[in-house]
Amino acid sequence: MTTHRLLERRLLFVTGKGGVGKTSVSVALARQAVRAGKRTLLVEMDDKGALARLFGSTDLTFEAREVEPGLHAMRMTTEESLREYIRLFVSNPLVSTVGPLARILDFVANAAPGVKEILAVGKLCWEVREEHYDIVIVDAEATGHIVAQIDAPSILSGLVQVGVIREQSKWMQEILRDAARTGVVVVSTPEEMPVIETHQLINEIEERTQVSIAAVVANRSPRVVLQERDIESFNTLLDNAPGAVLEAPARLVQLALQRRATATMHLTSLAARANQSGVPFLNLSEVGGADDRVVVDALTESLGAELS
């Protein structure tokens, strides 16, 4: 399988308005990375347990484990990130007594912007720097929080001019700002509010940070069921049949066509925004089904077709 340039990066943050399916897209991307022969780590940032449910397993932990062949997954926690940070970077013989220190840093984190975020982002950047995996895919925070997350090292670097925190922020920024290594995948659905938020988010990322947009994904696009010739045939039938006979079917067809026209308008808007940023636009068809795992399986195949 030829690796799509999106999967040539080392760190991908997948975000979008709540409810657009960013977790499902994250899983689909991770599976495609595995199929491309990459050692893959999938990270849940919001600790809601959605990833574990999709894999039909118990809750994920901070310790990454293999959930499918070649695919490892973990969930981020501030306390565990702090423990690992101290173990890796703080030369202190009392590091085992992290409990009191955790409470102190929790106090600091609530007072200083970016402290909790940098612990989480630092873990991600560490995995990239140490090359434990070929690619790290992050089921990131939703649109309202992602900018603060990816820009945390820059914020702290501006607040702290000297010392170990500034040094740590520096190498994290180098990874985050490298478009060849890091990017943000913005997921939307072809509906008014998600599209508006997508435009706003891309503008905010490009204006406020130096992190690159990697792709724009349209999820749950309506399938084209009726072709133009089908509509013409139906209209001919409608013209020659008693009005009451086809009234209900005609109304349903009209609603379906209106929905498709509206979705097409939003898809055009998303594609144009992706083109403006010079990034791929991936259009994933709507998948039916009550079982989320079945839906993600189908979404994985749809994404594979877009990446091929």
SS3 70: coil
201-223 pLDDT per residue, tens: 999 999 999 999 999 999 998 87
pTM, rounded to two decimals: 0.85
pLDDT confidence band for 79 (50 / 70 / 90): confident
Mean pLDDT of 154-179: 73
Rg of the chain over CA atoms, in angstroms? Answer: 23
170 neighbors 157 (Cβ within 8 angstroms): yes
84-134 pLDDT per residue, tens: 776 776 655 555 455 555 565 565 556 555 667 777 888 899 999 999 999
Q: Which domains does the chain have, with CATH numbers?
A: 5-223+278-307 (3.40.50.300)
pLDDT confidence band for 1 (50 / 70 / 90): very low
Which region, left, alpha or beta, applies to residue 69 given φ > 0 means left and ψ of -120 to 50 means alpha? beta
Q: How far is CA 105 from CA 15, 155, 229, 244, in A?
A: 27, 17, 66, 71
219 neighbors 17 (Cβ within 8 angstroms): no
Beta bridge partners of 65: 73
Beta bridge partners of 135: 40
What's the CA gap between 256 and 233, in Å, rounded?
16
CB neighbour class for 25 (10 Å; exposed up to 12, middle 13-18, buried from 19): buried
What's the CA gap between 292 and 282, in Å, rounded?
21
Instruction: Give yes or no for residue 2 having a pLDDT over 60.
Output: no
